[in-house]
Structure 1
């Protein structure tokens, strides 16, 4: 958020209680409807508020601040009648000499919540009696000046969050080593070498090892071995697999070397450790069907269908023993992490799951053979309406990894802000965008899944009216006829296809016509980015700048 070139002029301030569902018409009471250039800053003064910006849901917690553009509409809802929102509406101007030029689309980071400390927000807003009025339309000049200063302070705190996130881009040596530590934690089961990690950090081996030990207190090889042993502990307590298979699952090629390392670090052989720590404690969870499911505590032998669960489990540090990976193959960006996972077919096939002896089964859809699956292991069915963060938090609670989930969400939010800053000159928040998928002769419009979810939920793009209708109907995607391609076109269009099809896609008449409608705002994207899992969503942020810079990838 760059406030330096802008002059902010406060127009209105109010604080109100959120009474269940409040539409924009009731929220705007007292504000002149002709003032269509006003930006809005909303501040959650209570927990439990859900905001809809252009009908896209955003959950706010106490202290959350969010900016809404003039072209956007919003409603708020809450089940708690005591929840409160504060609202500033203001104009923005660019200063040229002695002239103020109104800016209808300021370079502010809109549509994404900033999580400020509520104690800071409360201190800034103050506790004057008049502040609790339904609408403060009769503020004196001094009171408006005071509120103008408070608005500037809150915007300044939001800008500070951006600056702190921007500091993550500094490529100093320690931060580069930190990135390789994260890589080790995510890829510990792969064949990693110190040379490979040093190359990732852009250092020679001796320099990398020295800085790695300064950061972690261990040599790279010792750190990797200890990480693998920690994962081995989980497998040994919940697995009947042979030691050789467990060794391979955590990255050891040699069973005997694994046993020596394990004994050195724990004082027990692997089997001794399993016998000491084996337990069968259970927790009760409620799934989307309202069923009480008894899930073993510390379970790691998990089978999942994979569409909206596999990436979530992997990012939480859990590799399931089986998943429906038959159709994934090389079509996901994390295909290298699938090699130790047994395939259970295209869906959750009970015949293929039974030999794996899972502790519980996690599904993102309602299966017809639920009874048969429940007989194999406790089966948890996710709510298909869950968005990324909701889904990740639910799964994390299920597998007792809530801290890991919150850490990932914070990292992702910071990364989104960085990318939006990088792309500030490439697009304007609030642009209408459409995502198409071309598979052979078939065309699809993506509604709120895959790449479309990232664009709408994280980058601040808006669906076109026709796409919004589909989202409201609960559609994730629809197939369209070739002659309908232009009917859904937005101000900016993203066309996904396989790498092979991307070579000749501009020869397609429908695509060529679409590209002519938005010649500088049509982007061609590899369809491997069309997934909603956290791994894909996070890695997509790294390639978005290149997608915007060139038409083809």
Structure 2
């Protein structure tokens, strides 16, 4: 909140401009969370930006100011596709802390700057002119002359801001923004104009005129656009019928919703879904195995590398899929270039890349919490392949049943253990994830007693290895130096040589892929490789 006697507070400060930048952002610009290194004033020339500060969101449009104090945590992104254009003014100030008849004592930032947050200006053109002159002065003037000119221009800009606040313009804007926030939470309800105008504090007719002036459309049109944007997300996610979506958005009839959707987007709901399934990108490589099992090749994906490697088979299946870099600005550049219509990711990726979710509708699918069969069904819903998912799983279950019989004929009730060397340490795989879920749950092979208590994986020492003794053993190790060093140590150890599987020559080395991958396609290939592997057992 702004303090009273604003002009008096500003008069008690000595303000120095330190920098002025003219910034033209990309259409999908975002500012990751960061701490402001200096006091800043942003003047928005074009576009609309959402700025988050102290858990409060400010929607700043063209012609308005945003004051950001030094040390404030801030993050931001553009609200629409129109590029954001703004001036950024950095400044320092000294506050009067003591004054008598002979002297005045100032201290740098000795008190909180009187202006903070958004300020809605009435005289946009004058504010734009002042920012332009500030920018010119930074480029063309030097020394004391530049400082004097900039101080005068900045004081003029502050005068505009303080005047509008004193005159109540901010209150009008704030009233409309209250209703906008309400609509974002209640767009699916019937919202009377009288209720919105009362919430804003104006008469219905004045509120309608003010809303259109500030937002460019009427309140009714604004509600419709909110509904249609939500409809696009629900259609892309593919978990609800058209009737359910219509009901969710507040439409009683599916046909009326379809007509409204086509009027706003130019597509029928079915056409929109078909168009938006063409450019799917995956931000977790394992999800590709599910897409491929359904006969769908993602447009782009992380984790794709050229040449040979542990996952060469999968990369060969994804020959037409464009590789994406995983994190940071490189990932943003790739996504902006590719213009995906759907981003499929897991919660871990979205946690660190929240700002990228505004590039396209984002579908979050848990990797660690969701079983692979459930995930296959979820992706099938997303790409319109529910029938194909059921058929694929039916064939898989038949294949598993037959393979289990064949393998059991070879090894009987013998126990099987899965070991992996990773990061120079020895790991045992358990019952519920990755390779263990296929061997123990699907093929119904027998684990050693101690493995039954391991859900996913457990790191063990060489000394513990004999307690996990089994009749048959599968061993994985990457080509990394640290893993190869540990492999040599393992094979030379007495603990290794004492194992039943080693003494009977019933242990096998296996590649990481497809054995370690957790997807439909990889599990199907694991069944084939397990059949070949145990066929050699006598």
Q: What TM-score bracket applies, with the shorter chain setting the length?
A: 0.3 to 0.5
Q: Larger Rg: 1 or 2?
A: 2
Larger proportion of helix: 2
Higher relative contact order (CA 8 A, sep 6+): 1
Task: Give the TM-score of the pair, scaled to structure 2.
Answer: 0.43
